Amino acid sequence: MATVIECITLDCRNPRRLAEFWIAALHYSVRKDQGHWIVIRPVSGLGPLLGFQQVPESKVVKNRVHLDLRPSAGVAMAAEVSRLEKLGAKAMRVVLDDPTDVHTIVQDPEGNEFCVMEPLPASQSSCK
């Protein structure tokens, strides 16, 4: 039997604030809330659990692991970045790897980097 990922955990200073951002960003809900440890899950039931673990120090360097988000078909990358900024994110820069691979690097309210990709056409899958 293969090992599976149970939860993707982010260390943070303020688990509640960060959980609230990601709940709104991804349409998740709270699964467990112990104050210093909060776990959220997708309302749809599809996707990974995210955990937010309180630590005493602030983020100092670039993340070694980050999330790549892809908006639904019909939602432009720029519109999704704008929505996330209204929730407390900060857009850093647009990256153009090639004409078909464009994404925006964004930071959540505690400075954790993540990417927002261009949406795929409805007929295309994101799995390669």
Q: State how many domains the chain has.
A: 2
Asked if 75 and 53 sit in the same domain, the reply is no
Asked if 10 and 24 sit in the same domain, the reply is yes
Domain that holds residue 47: 1-58
| Per-residue pLDDT at 24 exceeds 90 | yes
Asked if 10 and 47 sit in the same domain, the reply is yes
Asked if 23 and 74 sit in the same domain, the reply is no
Do 91 and 81 meet the contact criterion of CB atoms below 8 Å apart?
A: yes
Asked if 77 and 118 sit in the same domain, the reply is yes
CATH number for the domain spanning 107: value is: 3.10.180.10
Which residue, chain included where needed, has tokens 């630590």?
55
Asked if 37 and 87 sit in the same domain, the reply is no
For 114-124, what is each residue's pLDDT tens digit? 999 998 776 56
* Alpha-carbon torsion, ordered 109, 112, 118, 122, to 10 deg: -90
CATH number for the domain spanning 54: value is: 3.30.720.120
The tokens describing 42, both together, are: 């997708």
Asked if 68 and 52 sit in the same domain, the reply is no
For 31-74, what is each residue's pLDDT tens digit? 999 999 999 999 999 999 999 999 999 999 989 999 999 998 88
Do 93 and 104 meet the contact criterion of CB atoms below 8 Å apart?
A: yes
Confidence band for 128, pLDDT divided at 50, 70 and 90: very low
